[in-house]
Amino acid sequence: MEKETVRYYVIRERIPEESRKEGLFYYELRHYDNNWNMYVIESEGVLVNFYGTMVCDKEILGNLEYMERRDLRKKFNTIKDKSLL
């Protein structure tokens, strides 16, 4: 079975609700305590260890509360796309 493709971009800041584009999906990212280069994609806002915001052209979490960065690439073909901002 072929993986679905998702376009995404990560920005190292919070994107306020009023600045978000309709039709896109926004996820806050949380970094690990011991590794700032690894992050978890969260379904809810991040209070501690905020890493940035991921903007996607498709829903990626479904019913999950979070997804590890490495699992995103296992589940989807990913294309980095700055035009989503």
User: Mind listing the pLDDT tens digit of every residue in the chain (85 residues)?
Assistant: 789 999 999 999 999 999 999 999 999 999 999 988 889 999 989 999 999 999 999 999 999 999 999 999 999 999 999 999 9
Tell me the HSE value of 26 on the side-chain side, using a 13 A CA sphere: 19
Structural domain of 71: 4-84
Total number of domains in the chain: 1
Both tokens of 57, joined, read 């052209």
Which distant-in-sequence residues (6+ apart) come within 8 Å of 33 by Cβ?
A: 49
Q: 55-83: string of b/e by CB count within 10 Å (b at 16+)?
A: bbbeebeeeeeebebeebeeebeeeeeee
Both tokens of 23, joined, read 């039709």
Q: What is the pTM of this model?
A: 0.92
